[in-house]
Amino acid sequence: MLHTPGNTPPPEEIHRRPLTDLFFSLGSSDTGLTTTEAQSRLARIGPNELRVRKDTPEFVKFLREFKNFFAILLIVGGLLALLADYLDPGQGNFYIACALFGVVVLNSTFTYLQERQSEKIMESFQKMLPAMVTVLRDGTVGAVDAKTLVPGDIITLAEGDRVPADCRLIEANRLTADLSSLTGESEPQPLDPSSSDDVLLQSHNMLFSGSLVQSGAAKAIVCRTGMSTEIGNIVELTKATGEVETPIRRELKYFIKIISGIAIGLGVSFFLVSVAIGRGELASLIFAIGIIVANVPEGLLPTVTLALTMASKRMARKNALIKNLESVETLGSTTVICSDKTGTLTQNRLTVTSIVIGTDSFSVSDPALPAHARFAETRRVMALCNNAHRTEDGFVGDATEGAMLLYATDAKCDEPLQDFKRVAEEPFNSTVKRMITLCERPDDGTFEAYLKGAPEVVLKMCDRVYLNGDTVPLTTARRHKMIDQYRALAAQGQRGLALAIQPTPDAHIPGDGYIFVAIVGMIDPPRPEVPDAIARCHSAGIRVVMMTGDYGLTAETIGRQIGLIQKQGTVIHGGELAEMDERQLARVLDDPELIFARISPAQKLRIVQALQAQGEVVTVTGDGVNDAPALKNADMGVAMGLRGTDVAKEASNMVLMDDNFATIVAAVEEGRTIFDNIKKFIAYILTSNVPQILPFVAYVLLDIPLPLTIVLILAIDLGTDIVPALGLGAEKPETDVMHKPPRKRSERLLTRNLLFMSYCIVGVIQAAAGFFTYFVILYAGEWQWGDQLASSDPLYRTAITGFFASIIICQIADVIICRTRRQSILSAGVFSNRLVWLGIATESALLALIAYVPAFNTFFGTAPLEAWHLLLSVPFAVLILLGDELRRVFVRRENPFVLRWLTW
C-alpha cells in the first residue's frame, strides 16, 4: 500500500512496518522534521489535543434549565402578575412578579451548575497529556508545547515522562512503561524497538499517548496525535456512551409534571368559574395567579439540591466522595453491584504464603523450607524474573512481583542475587501469561533463563522437573500432579505462579525445554469488614457480582470466604463470555451468585449493559482509563480513589477514598435514606398547598375577603418551609432501611397515598385550622357575612395573619410526623434531629417577625396577634400529631386498610 509522505499510515500498520518504511510514509528522517514542515502539518492536521465538541454555548445550556413545568408556570404567573400590575397599579403585583422570577432564576442556577459537573469528564483526558515535550527538529533537540506535535516528529523520553502521542520506538535503553490505564496490564511493561505483536496494544515496540515511562530512556517517532490516538478512541467511545438519567431526576420530572398539571387545571377551572359568576377578568386573573402559586412548591428544587448536598457531605465523611449530587439517591435504587476483587473486596496486600517445590509443600514460616535442595533456584527465579524494585519502605512495582521480591530478598540464603546481570527479557502480558528473563551468572559467565507465569503456560514450556533433589522427566502424571497442587492453592484463595529455570550456552532466550522448579502461592486476604457488608447487601435485596481479572478458582474461593457465594455459584471466564450471545448472557445473569473471572474492560461494559437491559439499576467499580465507558454507562459509576486513574475518577459518579467495598454499602444505605427523606419533605411541603389553595376557592365561591394573600404564600413556600424541610432531608435512616428490597423503578416519589395523606387528610386539617382561626377573629371584630374589607383594614390584616399563623403551627406538627414513615416518633427520638428543631425555631421566628415587627407588617400586609389567637389552631396541631402516631401503629401491625391507603 502506498502512502503520501506526511500522512499517518493506517493504525494496523504502524507497529509492524519496517522503520525505514514508516519514516518514509511519515515523511520524516533521522534529523526529524523541519520547523516549517511541522507548522504546515499542524495547520493541516490540527493540534495534539483531545477535543470535545462544544456545539452549545453555555448561556444556551443555562436557558434550557427554564423549560421545566415549574419554571414555565412560575414565569407565566410572573407575567400575569406584571399584566395585573399594568392594568391596576399599586396593588403589589409587581413585587409578586419579581419574587416569582427570582425563584425561577434560583432554581435554574442550581440545576445548571449540577449539569455542568458532568462535562468535567472530558477535561480529565487533557490532564493525561504533558505540557512540554523534548523533540528533534531541524537536527536540533529542543522543548516544544506537546500540543504542537505532529506525525513524523521524533521525540525523546526519560523516566517519569508522560507519553504525548502514539509513537513507534526507534531506540530504547532498559525502557519500561506503565500502560495499565489503556491495556489493563498491572505490571510496567518492558519495551523494545524490535518486539512487535499482531495486536497493536500488545506490541512492545509502541508507546501510547497518556502512558507513563517508569524507567529507562527512549527515542520514538510520533505516528498519531490528538483524537487519532488510542486514548482519543476512548474519548470518542465515552462521548458516544449516552448519559444515564438518574432515578431522582426521572422522579422529579414526574413530580413536576403532576403538580403542574394540578396547578394548571385548578387555575384555569377557577378562572372560568370566577368569570362566570361575575368577578371580572382582572380579579379572576389575580385569582388564577394565586391558585398557580399556591399549587407550586417553589422551594422544592433548591431544597432537594441542598438535601443532596448535605447527604454527599455525610458520605464524604465515610470516605465516599460524590461528584454528581443526584447520584446520592441512585445508590439507594441499586439492585446489582458489580465489584472488582483486588483492593475492593480484598486488602490489596499480596504476601507469599506457601511454596511447592516438586511434590514438597511448605508454608513460608516452615524452617525446613530454606534447607530444601532446590530452594536457591526457587529464590533465584523469584528475584531475577522480576521488575519490582526494593525501597526503604517496601517496593515499587506490581503487587505480585513486589511480594515475591520482598520474600526472596528477606529469605535466608547466601547467594548474592545483585551480582546477576540481566541481558534479555520477554515481558509479561495478559496474552502470553508468562515472563522470561535471561541473566549472566557471576561465577562462571554462563547464562540462565528464568521463567514465571500461569502454571498451565509454564508447564507447557517444561520437559523436566526438580523432584527429590534430582532432575527427572516431566511425565503426564507429574504434570497432573503439579496442576493438582496449583488447584489446591487456588482453593485456599491463593494466587499461584509457576517458576522454571534453564541453563543456556549463549545469550538466547529458549522457547521450551525448561526445568519446572516450584509453584509460589500468594494471598490477598479479604477485607475483614466485607463479609458483613455482603450480608447487608443480601438482606437489602442487592445482588453482588464479582468481576475480576484474576483466575476463576481464586476468585471463587475469595467469593466463598466473604459470603458472596454460599451455595453452588457460577464462575464465568472471559473466554466463555466471549463465545456467548446476548440471550445466553441474559440467562447467566439470572444466577444469584455470579463471578466473572479473567474478563477485559470491554467485557465489563457488556455485562453492565446486559444487566441494565434486564431492568437492573447497576453500580459498577473501575480504576483504569479503559473502564471509563463502563463507569459512565452504569447507573452509578464508582472509581477507586487510591489506585484509580484521573479519567476513571472523572467518569464516575462516586470515588471511594479507601477503595473499600464496605464503603459502597454504607453509601447505599445513605442513598436509600435520602430517597425516603425526599419523600418525607415532599409530603411536608405539599400539605401546606391545601390551606394555600382553599382560601382562593372560598374567596370566589363564598364571596368572603381573601383569607391568605400571595405574598404570605411565598413567605411559607420560600421562608418557613425551607429549613424544616432540610431537617427532614437530614433525618437518620429508619431501622428497617437495609432490610427491604431495593425500590422498584416504578415506585414514585409522588404516590397516590402520599397525595391522599397530604391533600385529603393533613392538608384539610390545616385548612380547617386556618379557616377556624380566620372566622373567629373576624366575628370577634363584629364582621358580618357579606361585608367586604379593605386590604388596609386592621381587622382584615389580623384575620389573615391568624390564618397564616395557623398554617405555621400546624406545619410544626406536620414536620414532626413526617420524620418517620413507620417508626414511632418516640422510638426515633423526639429531639434527635436538631436541624428539624432549628427549622421549627426558624419558622416560629419568621412568624413572629411577620406578625409583630412593623416593617414586616407593612410589607406583608399583616397585623399583631393576641395570644389567644395563636391558641385557636393548637388543637388541630395536636390532632395531626396523635392521629399520625396512631396511623404508624397500624402500619407496623400491617393493617391491610392502612397499608393500602395510608402508607406513603
- Catalytic residue ranges: 340
For residues 435-465, b (16+ Cβ closer than 10 Å) or e, as one string? bbbbbbeeeeeebbbbbbbbbeebbebbebb
Q: Please check whether residue 273 is in contact with residue 291, taking contact to mean a CB–CB distance below 8 angstroms.
A: no
C-alpha cell at 128: 493525561
Among the listed residues 607, 486, 614, the one whose alpha carbon sits nearest the alpha carbon of residue 552: 486
Residues 6+ apart with CB under 8 A from 437: 384, 385, 386, 422, 424, 425, 426, 449, 450
Pairing of strands 594-597, 570-573: parallel
* Contact between 817 and 840 (Cβ < 8 Å): no
| Phi, psi (rounded to 5 degrees) for 570 | -130, 130
Cα separation of the two ends of the chain? 70
d(CA 381, CA 404): 10
Strands 336-339 and 618-622: parallel
One-letter identity of residue 293: V
Strands 389-391 and 394-396: antiparallel
Q: Is-contact 448 502, C-beta < 8 A?
A: yes
Question: Which three-class secondary structure string do you get for 745-772?
Answer: CCCCCCCHHHHHHHHHHHHHHHHHHHHH
Helices (H), 818-901: 825-828, 834-852, 854-860, 867-871, 874-892, 896-901
Q: How far apart are CA 843 and CA 840, in angstroms?
A: 5
Contact criterion met (CB below 8 Å) for 724 and 811? yes
DSSP letters, 455-507, are HHHHHHTEEEEEETTEEEE--HHHHHHHHHHHHHHHHTTEEEEEEEEEEESSS
- DSSP label at residue 419: G
| Contact yes or no for 466/515 (Cβ under 8 A) | yes
Question: Residue 706 and residue 710: Cα distance in Å, rounded?
Answer: 10
**What is the grid cell recorded at 263?**
396547578
3-state SS of the chain: helix, strand, coil percent to 5?
A: 50, 15, 35
Amino acid at 688: S
Cα 640 to Cα 644: distance, rounded to the nearest angstrom:
5
Contact 347, 341 (CB under 8 A): no
Cβ pair 56, 98 in contact under 8 A: no
Give the residue carrying C-alpha cell 489446591.
488
For the record, the C-alpha cell of 409 comes out as 530478598
Rounded Cα gap, residues 803 and 761, in angstroms? 18
Enumerate the β-bridge partners of residue 522. 352, 495
- In sequence order, what are the beta bridge partners of 135? 142, 155
Residue type, 760: C
Cα–Cα dist 197/427, whole Å: 12
Closest to 609 (Cα-Cα) out of 239, 339, 244: 244
Please tell me the total number of residues recorded for the chain in this structure: 904
Residue 649: all three cell numbers together? 475518577
C-alpha dihedral, 410 to 414 to 416 to 417, nearest 10°:
-50
How deeply is 781 buried, as exposed, middle or buried, from its count of CB atoms within 10 A (0-12, 13-18, 19+)? middle
